[in-house]
Structure 1
Amino acid sequence: MKQKTIQKNVDLVGIGLHKGVPVRLKLEPAPENSGLVFTRSDLGVSFKLTPECVIDTTMATVVGKDNARISTIEHFLSAVYAYGIDNLHISVDNEEMPIMDGSSISFCMLLDEAGIVPQNEPKKVMKIKETIEVKEGDKFVRITPSDKSLFDFEIDFKHPAIAKQAYQFYFSTTAYKEEIAKARTFGFLHEVQYLRSKGLALGGSLANAIVLDETKILNPEGLRYKEEFVRHKILDAIGDMALLGVPLFGSYVSYAGSHKLNHLLTKQILGNPNAYEIVTLNEEDTQSLAIEKIFALDSCKD
């Protein structure tokens, strides 16, 4: 199987979640083995995406270099990962990715518009060989060896509209668009009010998040999935794992995981060479991992 990029330039304009200002996002094809490269076009600063670029995980995954930062990249990266894109130039003219509707489906539609094309160099994947776990109290994220790509997540919120939710997601592009991509981010009304007092969440609204008061969901349309809250956590986890730079073959399991724990997991994986193997895919590898089916090009379309 070959590496992939997009066929043509595409762009869109959306609102940043925290600053509430318009952001233009532009995507361009990139050559083989170049990876995902971010540019702050307003500052003229570019950098390749790696776990070392992460500078904050408090409210979202934030990457940066020098004085240039780009916040809330996880929803976009989740879609890029799902489409099997290896090489891409990503340009924004402000310090946040546009939030769109709070899920990744708008980014999937943008990638559909761009088209996905194979390149000349073989694709690389990461096979997990040893179990690695990161814990914080009773919260944890764990990766274990597997020939499949599994995301297994559980949450437990002391709120009647969420409570305990669990979801197992066996990754493929088709399944991602059907089961994960439309799951929106969520927040609590009292948190939104506090964040706005600190100059954050200024772009947040019922149009780009599920908002809950003390007892119920405030969005009049309700939920898109029965387990939309935990499915969004999987969406986030896929985006955070995209910082590894290659598709991941292993079982990701989490209880109440976070951007912080995901970031620490990526660093621990890369910091332990015995824990993984980078496989350059020849025909035999492609068949054994069923990767052509997982990242099938025709599954990039509705």
Structure 2
Amino acid sequence: MAYQTTLNSEVSYVGVGLHSGVDVHMTLQPAAADTGIVFVRSDLPGEPQVAAKASNVTSTLRATTIEENGIKMFTIEHLMSSFNAMGIDNCRILIDSEEPPVADGSSKVFMELIQKAGGKELPQLRREIVIDKLYRVDDGDKFVLALPYDGFRVSFTSINPHPVIGIQYGDYEINQEIYGKEVAPARTIAYEAEIEALRKMGLGLGGTMENVIVYNDQGWMNELRYPDELVRHKILDIVGDLRLAGFIKGHIVAVKSGHSLNTTMAKKLYEAFCK
């Protein structure tokens, strides 16, 4: 049995929100056992909190959004992915915006922040989600499976009709070492032809060539960190979205999944194990 953890000290970061485009000040703070991951809105009267749990997911349009008592936080998946890989159960995220900073478009910066703060074990057992049978969610030809497995592993197949992307497959054991080397540096992706439409919708306002990898009909417009960076980022996202259910012991198999299916699985597991 594993014990719960929190940060050993607080650590801060200042950046810009990917979709909002506004400056964000964020401080990760230690928290007591059974607090979970909570966003604390320092910019609002009374500093209301939004708990990062599957039952609070309200939107998955281009990012994962959680909401509690009318207070929203969106694009939380990269930060949540780092908490999952680093094994952090409890943290207060003091933040003055409704979106965490995008950093370099990956979860590498957040992982480094958590490493800088250090971890601390708490005298309370962790409640793990131990997959004991097949769980499945589908949306047409897209699906996510959760299977019994001694560890936490993610296998992801991305199928994109664009010739620049095509079919990409990634399969990783998710632990601090492998995630830090193979998954955390993978950045978020955009198709150049869609960027203007996204901005008219009020999305992607903080996106730049420094925090988003962009492709067009000729190829990639910036240098990739991995030839299959897209599918690695898809794995980063699903690791973050599933953290909303808790810590999972199992094998996740996903095909063409996005935030909607990811969080549907998170809700299914949360209902089965955490209610």
Tell me whether 1:118 sits opposite 2:121 in the alignment.
Answer: yes
Mapped pair 1:63 → 2:66: yes
Aligned position for 1:290 = none
| Percent of aligned positions that are identical | 37
Query: Which AA in structure 2 matches 1:3?
Result: Q
1:197 aligns with 2:200: yes
- Contact 2:154/2:252, CA 8 A, preserved across alignment: yes
**1:13-162 alignment to 2 at 5 Å?**
13-43=14-44, 44-162=47-165
Query: Once the 2 structures are TM-superposed, how far is the Cα of residue 214 of structure 1 from its aligned partner?
Result: 1.6
Query: Alpha-carbon deviation of 1:225?
Result: 1.2
CA RMSD of aligned residues (A): 1.5
Mapped partners of 1:91, 1:69: distance in 2: 14
Distance 1:33 1:66 in 2: 20
Residue matched to 2:259:
259
Amino acid at match of 2:94: S
Q: Please give the residue correspondences for 1:166-181 in structure 2 after superposition, counting only pairs within 5 Å.
A: 166-181=169-184
Q: Matched residues in 2 for 1:54 and 1:183: separation? A: 24
Instruction: Return the offset for 1:48.
Output: 2.3
Name 1:210's counterpart in structure 2: 213
Deviation (angstroms), 1:124: 2.7
Alignment of 1:244 with 2:210, yes or no, is no
Task: Report if the CA contact (8 A) 1:160-1:215 is conserved.
Answer: no
Deviation at 1:272, TM superposition (A): 3.4
**Residue identity in the other structure for 1:23:** V
| Mapped contact 1:159–1:215 kept (Cα < 8 A) | no
User: 2-side partners of 1:210 and 1:236: how far apart?
Assistant: 15
What residue identity is the alignment partner of 2:271?
Answer: G
Listed as ranges, the gaps of 5+ residues in structure 2 are none
Instruction: Please give the per-residue CA displacement for 1:207-264, whole angstroms capped at 9, x wherever unaligned.
Output: 1010111221111xx111121110000000000010012x201110011001100111
d(CA) in 1 for partners of 2:23 and 2:122? 33
Counterpart CA distance in 2 for 1:20 and 1:47 is 21
- TM-score (normalizing by structure 1): 0.87
Q: How many Å separate the matches in 2 of 1:26 and 1:172? A: 24
Cα distance in 2 between the residues matched to 1:253 and 1:231: 14
- How far off is 1:33 after superposition? 1.7
**Secondary structure of 2:217's match?**
coil
Q: AA paired with 1:240?
A: D
Residues in 2 aligned to 1:154 and 1:203: alpha-carbon distance in whole angstroms:
28
